[in-house]
Amino acid sequence: MTSMRTVALTLAAAAAALAFVAAPAQARTTQAELKEGGWAFESPLGRFDQAQLQRGYKVYAEVCSSCHSMNLMYYRNLCQQGGPFYDPKHPNPNEAPVCKAIAADIKVPDIDPDTGDATERPATPADHFKAPYANEAAARAGNGGALPPDLSVMARAREGGANYIYSLLQGYKDEPHGLTVPDGKYYNIYYPGDLGSAWSGPKDKVPVGGFISMPFQLVEGRVTFDDGTKSTTDQMAKDVAAFLAWAAEPKAEERKQTGLAVMAYLILFAGVLFLSYKRIWRNVEH
Amino acid sequence: MSGHSTYEPKTGFERWLDARLPIVRIAYDSAIDFPTPKNLNYWWTFGGILAVCLMTQIVTGVILAMHYVPNGDMAFNSVEHIMRDVNYGWMIRYIHANGASMFFLAVYIHIARGLYFGSYKAPREVLWLLGCVIYLLMMATGFMGYVLPWGQMSFAGAVVITNLFSAFDQVIPGLGTAITTWLWGGFAVGNATLNRFFALHYLLPFMIAGVVGLHIWALHVTGNNNPTGVPVKSKADTVPFHPYYTVKDGFAIVVFFILFAWFVFFAPEALGHTDNQIPANPLVTPAHIVPEWYFLPFYAMLRAVPQKLFGVLTMFGAIGLLFAVPWLDRSPVRSMRYRPTARWFFVLLVLATLGLGWCGGMEPDDVVIRTGQTANGDPTGFTVTWLARILTTYYYAYFLLVLPLLSRNEKPSKVPDSISTPVLSGGGAALPAGAAAEPQKKG
pLDDT band at A8 (very low <50, low <70, confident <90, very high): low
SS3 track for A86-135: CCCCCCCHHHCHHHHHHHHCCEEEEECCCCCCEEEEECCCCCECCCCCCC
Q: Are residues B118 and B174 in the same domain?
A: yes
Mean pLDDT, chain A, rounded, equals 91
Check residue A256 and give its pLDDT.
Answer: 96
Q: Does A81 touch chain B (CB under 8 A)?
A: no
Percentage of residues in chain B with pLDDT exceeding 90?
Answer: 87
Instruction: Please tell me the distance from the alpha carbon of residue B261 to that of residue B255, in angstroms, as a whole number.
Output: 10
Q: Is the pLDDT of residue A13 over 90?
A: no
pLDDT (mean) for A20-42: 74
Same domain, B267 and B173: yes
Has residue B437 got a pLDDT over 50? no
Q: Is residue B142 part of a domain?
A: yes
Please determine, for residue B4, whether its predicted confidence score (pLDDT) is greater than 80. no
Q: Is residue A256 part of a domain?
A: yes
* Interchain CB contact of A118 with B (< 8 Å): no
The alpha carbon of residue A227 and the mean position of all alpha carbons in its chain are separated, in whole angstroms, by 23
Structural contact between residues A16 and B293, judged by C-beta atoms closer than 8 angstroms: no
Within a domain: residue A38?
A: yes
Note whether residue B185 is domain-resident.
yes
**What was the pLDDT predicted at B374?**
79
pLDDT band at B442 (very low <50, low <70, confident <90, very high): very low
Co-location of B212 and B106 in the same domain: yes
Higher pLDDT, A23 or B322: B322
Counted domains in chain B:
2
What number is the average pLDDT over the span A162-185? 95
* Banded model confidence at residue B372, pLDDT cuts 50, 70, 90: confident
Mean per-residue pLDDT, B122-134: 97
| Same domain as B233, residue B88 | yes
Q: How far is B331 from chain A (nearest CA, A)?
A: 25
Chain B residue nearest residue A256, CA to CA: B265
Domain-ending residue, one of B289, B322, B349: B289
Is the Cβ pair B361, A25 closer than 8 Å?
yes
The pLDDT score that the predictor gives to residue B259 is 98
> B68 and B177 share a domain?
yes
- Residue A193 sits at φ, ψ, to 5 deg, of -165, 175
Would you say residue A216 lies in a domain?
yes
The pLDDT of residue B3 is 57
Q: How far apart are CA B60 and CA B82, in angstroms?
A: 12
| CB pair distance less than 8 Å for B244 and A10 | no
Q: Are A125 and A96 in contact (CB under 8 A)?
A: yes
Question: Do B249 and B386 belong to one domain?
Answer: no
Strands (DSSP E) contained in A112-246 are 118-122, 186-188, 210-212
Cα separation, B34 vs B5, in Å, equals 9
Please state, rounded to an integer, the average pLDDT across all residues of chain B: 92
Q: Does pLDDT of B401 surpass 90?
A: yes
pLDDT of residue B431 exceeding 70: no
Domain identity same for B198 and B345: no
* Facing residue for A24 by CB, picked from B227, B361, B377: B361
Band of residue B373 on the pLDDT scale cut at 50, 70, 90: confident
In a domain, B96, yes or no: yes
Tens of pLDDT, residues B7-25: 999 999 999 999 999 999 9
**C-alpha A202 chain-centroid distance:** 37
For residues B258 and B309, membership in a common domain is answered with no
Residues B233 and B307 in one domain: no
The average pLDDT across B419-432 equals 57
Given a cut of 70, whether residue A129 has pLDDT beyond it is yes
Name every chain A residue with its beta carbon within 8 A of the beta carbon of B262: 15, 259, 263
Q: For residue range B227-241, what is the model confidence (pLDDT) as tens digits?
A: 999 999 999 999 999
Q: Domain with B136 in it: what CATH number?
A: 1.20.810.10
In a domain, A237, yes or no: yes
- C-alpha distance from residue B275 to each of A141, A161, A243, B99, B396 (Å): 26, 12, 20, 20, 33
Range of the domain at B95: 1-7+31-289
Asked if B268 and B316 sit in the same domain, the reply is no
Amino acid, single-letter form, for residue B366: D
Selected residues 235-264 of chain A with any CB under 8 Å from a CB in chain B: 248-251, 254-256, 258-260, 262-263
CB nearest to B247's CB, from A25, A28, A277: A277
Instruction: Note whether residue A55 is domain-resident.
Output: no
Q: Does A268 touch chain B (CB under 8 A)?
A: no
Q: In chain A, how many domains are there? A: 1
Say what percent of chain A tops pLDDT 70.
90
* Cβ-defined contact of B247 to A273 (cutoff 8 Å): yes
- Segment 34-63 of chain A within 8 Å of chain B by CB: 44
Is there a single domain that holds both residue B243 and residue B336? no
Mean pLDDT computed over B255-278: 96
Helix, strand, coil percentages in chain B from 3-state DSSP, rounded to 5: 65, 5, 30
Q: What is the pLDDT of residue A216?
A: 97
Residues of A in contact with B90 (CB under 8 A): 249, 251, 254-255
Q: Quick one: B234 and B316 in the same domain?
A: no
pLDDT tens digits, one per residue of A134-160: 999 999 999 999 999 999 999 999 999
Q: Are A244 and A162 in contact (CB under 8 A)?
A: yes
**3-state DSSP percent of chain A in helix, strand and coil, to 5:** 45, 10, 50
**pLDDT confidence of B54, banded at 50, 70, 90?**
very high
Q: What is the mean pLDDT of residues A163-167?
A: 97
Q: Return the number of CB contacts < 8 Å for A and B.
A: 158
Residues 6+ apart with CB under 8 A from A5: none
Question: What is residue A227's predicted lDDT score, i.e. its pLDDT?
Answer: 95
User: Is A233 part of any domain?
Assistant: yes
**Separation of alpha carbons B35 and B29, rounded Å:** 9
Of B232, B267, B289, at which residue does a domain stop? B289
Average of per-residue pLDDT across B206-212: 98
Q: Is A140 on the interface with B (CB under 8 A)?
A: no
Average pLDDT over residues B140-165: 96
Give the structural domain span for A232. Answer: 29-47+159-272
**Residue A171: predicted pLDDT:** 96
Task: Tell me if B18 is assigned to some domain.
Answer: no
Q: Write down which residue in B230, B261, B289 finishes a domain.
A: B289
Residue range B386-395: mean pLDDT, rounded: 97
The rounded percent of chain B whose pLDDT value lies above 70 is 94
Higher per-residue confidence, B424 vs B257: B257
Average pLDDT over residues B379-385: 90
Chain A residues lying within 8 Å of B362, measured CB to CB: 25
d(CA B388, CA B297): 9
Q: Cα separations (Å) of A99 from A61, A84, A92?
A: 13, 10, 11
Of A206, A213, A211, nearest to A178 (Cα)?
A206
pLDDT of residue A45: 87
Beta-carbon separation of B271 and A29 below 8 A: no
B13 belongs to a structural domain: no
Q: Which comes out higher in pLDDT, residue A122 or A42?
A: A122
